[in-house]
Amino acid sequence: MAQSISKGDLQKAIAAQANIKQAQATAALNAVLDVISSTLAGGPGSKVIITNFGSFETKKREARTGVNPQNPEKKIKIPARNVVTFKPGKNLKETVN
């Protein structure tokens, strides 16, 4: 059965597992997310590696032409943009499988 967890639930889980107050867990989680976001905002080639978990990397996606599925004859231009990719680490892969 699929599970999902919200940011609030994650904060509560961090507080319980680390035996800290929820306000401290919230501050720590926000700090981690801010550091990851600001690092990846550096553009293509920016990378955040979390050993035994995985790595986030910013890559450049080139401009391309797309097709409207409702009207295949109509072509649309999709602009170039930076995208974030995630590559799971060995431990995460083993945990999931």
31 and 23 Cβ atoms separated by less than 8 Å = no
pTM for this model (two decimals): 0.80
Structural domain boundaries in the chain = 1-40, 44-97
The helix, strand and coil proportions of the chain, stated in percent and rounded to the nearest 5, come to 40, 35, 25
When the pLDDT of each residue in the chain is averaged and rounded to a whole number, the result is 93
* 39 sits in which H/E element: helix 22-40
End-to-end CA distance of the chain: 14
Q: 44-69 pLDDT, tens per residue?
A: 999 999 999 999 999 999 999 999 88
Name residue 71's amino acid: N
Supply the pLDDT for residue 37. 95
48, 45, 32, 31: which is closest to 82 by C-alpha?
Answer: 45
CATH architecture for residues 44-97: Irregular (4.10)
